[in-house]
Structure 1
Amino acid sequence: MGHDQAKRVFASAFEKGTLHHAWILAGPKGLGKAGFARQAAQFLLESDRHSPAPSNRLEIDAESQAARLLAAGSHPDFRLLQRGGKSDKEDKKARESGIESLEAHELKRNISIDQVRSLQSLFNTQASIASHRVVIIDAIDDLERGGANALLKNLEEPPLKTVFLLVSHTPERLLPTIRSRCQILRFEPLDDAQMREVLQQLAPDLDNPETEALIRAGKGAPGRALQYVDAGLAELEQLAMQILESGDPDNRIRNDLARKLSLKAATARYHAFLDLVPGLVADHVRSNRDSDRIRAIETWQEICDLAGMAVPKALDSQAVIFRLASMMGSLALRREPA
């Protein structure tokens, strides 16, 4: 969905014969970069392709041989590198249900150097049934240092008719030597209408308040919104707004939130709340007069910092929720009537 400019750039480069051998697909997580990479890969692997449609779009055939082989994970001219399961149990689950079925804690920390070296079997022969060979790395941010150096050798001396599609959520952290050998294709957030269409297609049972809450929480990234489909965002948003409006003087709402969201079964809702709060507070500060606007902005920054570090630093979830709600309540107490 969306990203028409990126599709036009890629298809136009192919049509003109100026297709670069390596592309960094850059942008925040959840925008659809991996989906674009799969579409671009199929575009290149359809064996009878000579030029794209006149519209300069990535036109693909859902019933083509390339589509069927990619879906089966057996296209001889294609490789996908991504983090695998931590153990044999997780690897088996990934093989049976797909890597997407694994939780973050079930995945290995990095894409290994051995995975990069395994690409040599692809490069040692000519393309089997397509005009190109395609490698997707999702995400190149996950490459261990040795793997990045091994990949660099392939980017410096690219195999003939091979295209690398490197998904990156933080391209600025990549090795400068890798960035310099790639063309960067940047992806922008989807607008609300596009987000709404994605959610209506993939989560048709959502009611309107929940859909709108997901759109706000997703911030233009449908993948980010979809991970919270079952989190009850509309309710969380309503409770957060009550704190911002009333200040929650008796601590009833914040105590209830801290208790419910700290349960192990509520991990997804806890993460959703951490994602949701900074945007709600920013909107609140912008739309309301405050006797101390500078202090309100400082409070918003403190909220962003705490919400951002809570999971990576494994902070106590109950304490985090209570502290966030207290800072939000302090904004309500300082707000002046319009």
Structure 2
Amino acid sequence: MARAPAPMDLPEPDQLEGFAHPRETELLYGHADAEEALRTAFMSGRLHHAWLVTGPAGIGKATLAYRFARFLLKYSDPRIAEAANVKTLHLPPEDAVFRRVAARGHANVLTLRKPWNDKTKKFMTVLSVDEVRRTHDFFGMKAGEGGWRICIVDTADDMNASAANALLKVLEEPPAQTVFFVLANHPGRLLPTIRSRCRQLALKPLPHDQLMAAVQGHLGHMADGDMEAVAKLAQGSVGRALQLAGGGGIELYREVSGLIAALPKPDVPAIHALAEKLARRGNDQAYSMFRDLLSDWLVRLVRSGALPPGSDDEVIAGEGQVMARLAAGTSLDRWVEVWENTGRTADRAEALNLDRKQVILGTFAALEAAARG
């Protein structure tokens, strides 16, 4: 009988393929203000029990949360940190606390996220109430190693209504020496009562120089054209930039853009070839990237049609003309409708575990119909 996979054997929903998980990441690019806000709150002795960390996916929310968790577990008391004269939240990878958190071996850190379904070999579509109820055991006993206990919700966007209400109850009656990091890409969707019980840290998109420093730090030098394309498509998100640069995202963007440029006369064999490739088992990241890139392309199309000519920089040469042609041939309302409907269809297909190839083919059919006006 095959053994059940150990926790360390399972995939992780918040890890980019080929890159370290946020809890294993030493460096945090940008967000110095947010880091200092946490350090100052701790050093003052008035650390709030719950922090709502917001910003686009891949911006560094989880990296910041684990960074502060390590700092808190290392120093535990402001007087210890003051004696050590620490000025940042940084711990080196060789530190014992860093190693234990990275290995998921510290009893005082709990991460809540979408669980893995071993039957479907996929992650659940929601962060369920059963996951949130793990806090009962975590907080119901004496701290396993003394000191602070840290709970990271990654991400709160994934919670269903029951899970959100269960989390709210814990936030309303927090145990002593506990800190929650509630990570959210779309905080406006959370219960107002959850937001009101948290101090908010909004992480802003990184400026161009910091974003490029992060990409080069992870991947080294890139061709100038690819670097600029990454910078424009990443929208200030390190995670998104690394995914694009290290996961074939630029090549995929050029392929998708080329197929759209041919509309309303679709290259049917090429579309089928792309759909076959992205629908293969193990291509989850590429499929997700396709969805994000296409959604962004449509948003930029609508924006280009609503703004004066030249207001939106091209990612690749010639796409501005394609966008102008498509925007002129069909109403912008129709393109907004395509953007909304294709996104909803893809979400529904994922929830029902439907064929991704058919989703992609249906998406290009909707694009073709809109392009024909």
The TM-score with structure 2 as length reference comes to 0.70
Which one-letter code corresponds to 2:108 in the other structure? D
List per-residue Cα deviations over 1:81-117 (Å, max 9, x = no partner).
1112112685xxxxxxxxxxxxxxx101233333333
Contact 1:34 1:167 in 2 (8 A): yes
For the residue of structure 2 that corresponds to 1:62, the secondary structure is: coil
In the alignment, structure 1 residue 258 sits paired with structure 2 residue 271: yes
Q: How does 1:60-209 map to 2 (within 5 A)?
A: 60-87=91-118, 90=121, 106-129=122-145, 131-204=147-220, 206-209=222-225
Matched with 2:321 is none
Partner residue, 1:38: 66
Cα distance change, pair 260–238 in 1 and its aligned pair in 2 (3 A): closer
Aligned equivalents of 2:90, 2:38: Cα separation in 1: 11
Write the distance in 1 (CA, Å) between the matches of 2:259 and 2:130: 52
CA distance in 2, matches of 1:225, 1:310: 26
* Aligned match for 1:318, one of 353, 356, 361: 361
Residue 17 (str. 1) matches residue 55 (str. 2): no
Match of 2:237 in 1: 221
Q: 1:265 to 1:283 in 2, by over 3 A?
A: same
For 1:270, the equivalent position in structure 2 comes to 290
Cα distance in 1 for residues equivalent to 2:256 and 2:120: 40
Distance between the aligned counterparts of 1:119 and 1:223, measured in 2? 28
Aligned to 2:11: none
What code does the residue aligned with 1:73 have? R
Post-superposition Cα deviations, 1:234-279, rounded to whole Å, max 9, x if no partner, equal 56348737966xxx48836x54653333224365363354144135
Structure 2 distance, partners of 1:114, 1:316, is 31
Give the secondary structure class of the aligned counterpart of 1:159.
coil
User: Residues 23, 249 of structure 1: CA spacing in aligned structure 2 closer, same or farther, 3 A cutoff?
Assistant: closer
Identity %: 29
Q: CA deviation at 1:191?
A: 2.0
Q: 2:57 is matched with which residue?
A: 29
Number of aligned residue pairs: give it.
311
- Once superposed, what is the RMSD of the aligned Cα atoms? 3.5
- State the secondary structure of the residue aligned to 1:11: helix
Q: 1:319 to 1:242 in 2, by over 3 A?
A: closer
- Distance of 1:181 and 1:65 partners within structure 2: 33
Q: Which residue of 2 aligns with 1:97?
A: none
Cα deviation for residue 55 of structure 1 reads 8.2
Alignment check: 8 A CA contact 2:132 2:167 kept: yes
Residue 288 of structure 1: which of 296, 309, 312 is its match?
309
Give, in angstroms, the shift of residue 118 of structure 1: 2.5
Do structure 1's residue 309 and structure 2's residue 344 form an aligned pair?
yes
TM-score, normalization by structure 1: 0.76
In structure 2, C-alpha distance between the alignment counterparts of 1:271 and 1:287, rounded to whole Å: 27
Q: Residues 257 and 199 of structure 1: is their aligned pair in 2 closer, same or farther, counting only changes over 3 Å?
A: farther
Distance 2:303 2:192 in 1: 37
User: CA shift at 1:301, angstroms?
Assistant: 3.1
Residues of 2 paired with 1:126 and 1:279: CA distance?
Answer: 50
For 1:249 and 1:117, the matched residues in 2 are separated by: 50
> 1:169–1:242: structure 2 CA closer, same or farther, 3 Å change rule?
closer
List gaps (5 residues or longer) in structure 2. Answer: 1-28, 280-285, 311-323, 350-357
DSSP 3-state at the match of 1:109: coil
For residues 137-185 of structure 1, the C-alpha deviation after alignment (integer angstroms, 9 at most, x for no partner) is: 1112223333333322221111001001111122222222222211121
Q: Which amino acid aligns with 1:173?
A: R
Q: 2:137 & 2:248 partners in 1: Cα distance? A: 44
Q: 1:299 to 1:211 in 2, by over 3 A?
A: farther
Contact conserved, 2:108 with 2:150, CA < 8 A, in 1? yes
State the AA in 1 paired with 2:143.
A
Alignment partner of 2:183: what SS? Answer: strand
**TM-aligned CA distance change 1:26 to 1:219, over 3 Å:** same
